[in-house]
Structure 1
Amino acid sequence: MKNVVYFIGAGPGDPDLITVKGRNILMEADVIIYAGSLVSKEHFKNCKEGVEIHNSASMTLNEVIEVIEKSYKENKKVVRLHTGDPAIYGAIKEQMDELEKFNIPYEVVPGVSSFTAAASAIKREFTLPNVSQTVILTRVEGRTPVPEKESLEKLASIGASMALFLSVSMIDKVVEKLKKGYGRNVPIAVIQRATWEDQKCVIGTLDDIAEKVKKENITKTAQILVGDFIDCEYNKSLLYDEGFSHMFRKGKDEDSSN
């Protein structure tokens, strides 16, 4: 493990969903700064003895950078362990910018995102032929604003499959905006703590999901998946169609003509 700072995606919850590369680096780390209750402490079981562990939930950006800078100068191997994939709502850009000011090299190791974990939890595929070939990742505005051009109503009007982060605490607001955008009652699912042992899945429609979510007392750490892909008729993929040719396989009709 070379002396660079690693930003690693720990995955959505299940400790086995970290990548092999991420786990190998983690096992060699001298200092780990991890994202609080969102990252399973099971990840630390195989870390080397004496590893220094910091919970970033109570730290400011400056405090995180101070720990990294000090550790790097001491030639310690530093891991910044984020939940899911760090490139999605990970707030890593501001950290990387600070490290560049100090000429501290860094690398990013991707991870399994909670939006794909949520789809696997309800056994669905976002991209179905003739239904949707587009997935929109977004959130509703809260304390963090959302650009007007990315309002939930406008995005929903496209009719694509959607995954909403950081929004379940405002489920009534989410439903109101989605109804305006879709203009009809569409399937929706809420998955709390996908891949954790206490995972909880609720499936409904825009008309009843808010009530179901409140009944299950889901108020945080949940993905909201929206779109017809959750419950619909669809065409089968041409990829495995016996009449469809591609570079690795001749179609049935083509075979019979030769």
Structure 2
Amino acid sequence: MSVHFIGAGPGAADLITVRGRDLLERCTVCLYAGSLVPTELLAACPPGARLVDTRELNLDQIVEELITGHREGHEIARLCSGDPAVFSAVAEQTRRLDAAGVPYDITPGVPAFAAAAATLRQELTVPGVGQSVVLTRISAMATPMPPGEDLATLGASRATLVLHLAVQRIDAVVGELLPNYGADCPVAVVARASREDELVLRGTLADIAAQVHAAGVRRTAVIIVGRVLAVPGRDSHLYSSARERGAG
């Protein structure tokens, strides 16, 4: 039997992948973060499945649930919000499963930044404006950022920045980005992307902090900063009539 780390998507229950839903239908144990994962997904689990809300569990307790379920012969789902590839704490769990000899696999999900871009009806890589996207966070209330990954350093590239776990420190974020991006740089904040109570704030570095405070946004939000949000770009080479195309 295996532990399946499954990206549950950004919030809307129907944004889980087909593979992820199929795995849930087989798993007789399911661990999920009740504050982040839509509970509607749990209906896909088999009748009588053991459902464990991990919001009050620490890492050792979560891993013990996974190991115990494996030893008891269960197939186990570990539902992760968004996509397990970023800011999911999957690595620390899989390291311990490796040490315990417990097999696992990982199924990707729709990340929060992709859901936010879809809400904004926005491509984050616009030809001639921005072709790089930096996914990052800040160190407040989390592990420290590695040297050279502070916002002032990352912002020197003026690439499109997507910040997770940072909206509660919006004033500090703005202060670090202003020297590189300028007060008129477009910003969007998408809270609870894809959910029924989704909230979108649009502005610039000059006014976005005031909007965030006025709206009372404190968590579960993505901040997107960059000229791609407002400046039109040229057409890409992908569909250009001048591009040489192969047969078929």
The TM-score range, normalised by the shorter chain, is over 0.9
Aligned to 1:57: 55
Contact kept in structure 2, 1:152 and 1:181, CA below 8 Å: no
Runs of 4 or more consecutive aligned structure 1 residues displaced over 3 Å after TM superposition: none
Partner deviation per Cα, 1:232-252 (whole Å, 9 max, x = no partner): 021011212222223358xxx
Which of 14, 34, 40 matches 1:36?
34
Letter in 1 for 2:227: D
Aligned equivalents of 1:243 and 1:220: distance in 2? 46
Aligned length: 247
Contact kept in structure 2, 1:137 and 1:164, CA below 8 Å: yes
The aligned runs of 1:189-204 (5 Å cut-off) are 189-204=188-203
Give the drift of 1:184: 4.7
Letter in 1 for 2:114: T
Q: When the two structures are superposed, what TM-score results if normalisation uses the length of structure 2?
A: 0.97
Partner deviation per Cα, 1:6-36 (whole Å, 9 max, x = no partner): 0000000111111100000011111111122
Which of 64, 68, 71 matches 1:70?
68
Aligned equivalents of 1:235 and 1:132: distance in 2? 11
Letter in 2 for 1:125: E
Structure with bigger gyration radius:
1
Aligned equivalents of 1:148 and 1:200: distance in 2? 33
Aligned equivalents of 1:108 and 1:221: distance in 2? 23
1:19 and 2:17 matched: yes
SS in 2 for 1:80: strand
Contiguous gaps of at least 5 residues in structure 1: 250-258
Partner deviation per Cα, 1:98-138 (whole Å, 9 max, x = no partner): 01111000000010000111011111001011111111000
Aligned equivalents of 2:204 and 2:79: distance in 1? 35
Q: When the two structures are superposed, what TM-score results if normalisation uses the length of structure 1?
A: 0.93
Aligned equivalents of 1:229 and 1:18: distance in 2? 28
- Identity rate, percent: 39
Aligned equivalents of 1:150 and 1:246: distance in 2? 40
Partner deviation per Cα, 1:117-164 (whole Å, 9 max, x = no partner): 101111100101111111100012213211230110111110111110
Contiguous gaps of at least 5 residues in structure 2: none
Aligned equivalents of 1:120 and 1:213: distance in 2? 20
Aligned to 1:110: 108
The aligned runs of 1:188-227 (5 Å cut-off) are 188-227=187-226
Letter in 2 for 1:212: Q
SS in 2 for 1:45: helix
Letter in 2 for 1:78: I
Aligned to 2:93: 95
SS in 1 for 2:6: strand
